[in-house]
Amino acid sequence: MLELLAKLLKVLNAEVSPWQISLGFVFGMVMGLTPLWSLNNLLLLLLLLCLRVNLSAFLLSLTLFSGIGYLFDPLMETLGATLLNNPGLVELWSAMYQSDIWRLIHFNNTLTLGSTLLALGLAAPLLLISNLVIRKYRQHILAWVRKSKLMAFFKATKFYDIYSKLSGAAL
């Protein structure tokens, strides 16, 4: 975990594009909230590996949102169940149900549907917000942090040793 945080700090402080980091966050969020062992996530993994997305941000986001997903599991399950049992949507679901492809991605699973819709709904805001936060961090906070007393204290910790080894440079 410490290594992962160190990697994130390295990424944030490095010259990696904020969009790559943000996209890593979003991919991690989607995979973390939705059931892990599914065809959807396999496709997401393919995208993750084929696109230049920051993997450290993805892994950190995956870890974080897996915990959040576990906490909100019943809520997402209820959301999916409500939608699947909505009489107004039955026609849509029935049409999708006739296709094996849709069924392969478990659209008719209450948790898969609820969590996927929630994750997709959060994807765009998270992408934009995280991108903005990273830019602001690099512009204003990074220089201030480097000079702060807190950083002096931080440099004396084991975590800083790990970070130094990974980045090959000091803050």
| Choice between 130 and 163, CB closer to other proteins | 130
Cα separation of 45 and 49, whole Å?
A: 6
| Choice between 103 and 136, CB closer to other proteins | 103
Side-chain-side CA neighbours of 69 within 13 Å: the count stands at 24
CA-to-CA separations, 56 to 11, 27, 154, 155, in angstroms, rounded: 8, 11, 21, 22
Q: Taking CB under 8 A as the rule, does residue 111 contact other proteins?
A: yes
Report, in Å, the least distance between residue 56 CB and other proteins.
14
Going by C-alpha positions, the residue among 166, 169, 168, 162 that lies closest to residue 2 is 162
Report, in Å, the least distance between residue 73 CB and other proteins.
5
Report, in Å, the least distance between residue 5 CB and other proteins.
23
| Choice between 38 and 163, CB closer to other proteins | 38
Cβ atoms of residues 64 and 28 within 8 Å: yes
Cα separation of 60 and 130, whole Å?
A: 13
Identified binder of other proteins from the candidate list 4, 16, 64, 93, rule CB under 8 A:
93
Of 24-32, 88-96, 133-141, 149-157, the window that binds other proteins (rule: CB under 8 A) is 88-96
Q: Maximum distance among all alpha carbons in the chain?
A: 63
Identified binder of other proteins from the candidate list 49, 68, 120, 169, rule CB under 8 A:
49
Q: Taking CB under 8 A as the rule, does residue 138 contact other proteins?
A: no
